[in-house]
Amino acid sequence: PRQKEPAPALAYFHIPLPEFSSFTASDFTGVKQESISSPSINSGFFTTMVEAGDVKAAFIGHDHINDFCGKLTGIQLCYAGGLGYHAYGKAGWSRRARVVSVQLEKTVSGEWQGVKSIKTWKRLDDQHLTTIDSEVLWNRGSNGKTLTHA
């Protein structure tokens, strides 16, 4: 069956938008260990994503020792965390990768439907490949954020 509304969009890019500086330690999940390296001029790209109405999350890199997610104007803004060993990191801080999982709805007859939820977590490159900061970024029919710590 045809989907009635636009599918929830995810945006991926490298350099953080100035809006990533909007968060304080009390309104995000994860850590901020360095300054946000965004352009000094605001291009209006975040406003464009908000006006589009379908973007539920944006994922960025660039600042290797930031790995937080925070919600601003209905969009989750998330750092990927530093994964590779070819660039700078922080002694004693495990390299990490953000994983994003999109679940689809399925009918009782087995037909795939629209997007049901978007979840994320970070996997650490440590002895146990630890999972941390699991959270639901978006659920169909809900703008709420559910946070669970692993």
The pLDDT of residue 83: 85
Per-residue pLDDT, averaged over 40-52, amounts to: 96
Domain locations in the chain as residue ranges: 9-83+92-139
User: Is the pTM here over 0.75, yes or no?
Assistant: yes
Most confident of 1-5, 17-21, 81-85: 17-21
Tens-place pLDDT, residues 72-121: 999 999 999 888 888 898 998 999 999 999 999 888 998 888 899 999 99
Residue 143 has pLDDT above 60, yes or no: no
Amino acid at 98: R
- Residues 94, 83: Cα–Cα separation, whole Å: 9
Contact indicator for 52, 31 with CB cutoff of 8 Å: no
Which amino acid is located at 114 in the chain?
G
Cα–Cα distance measured from residue 67 to residue 63, given in angstroms and rounded to the nearest whole number:
9
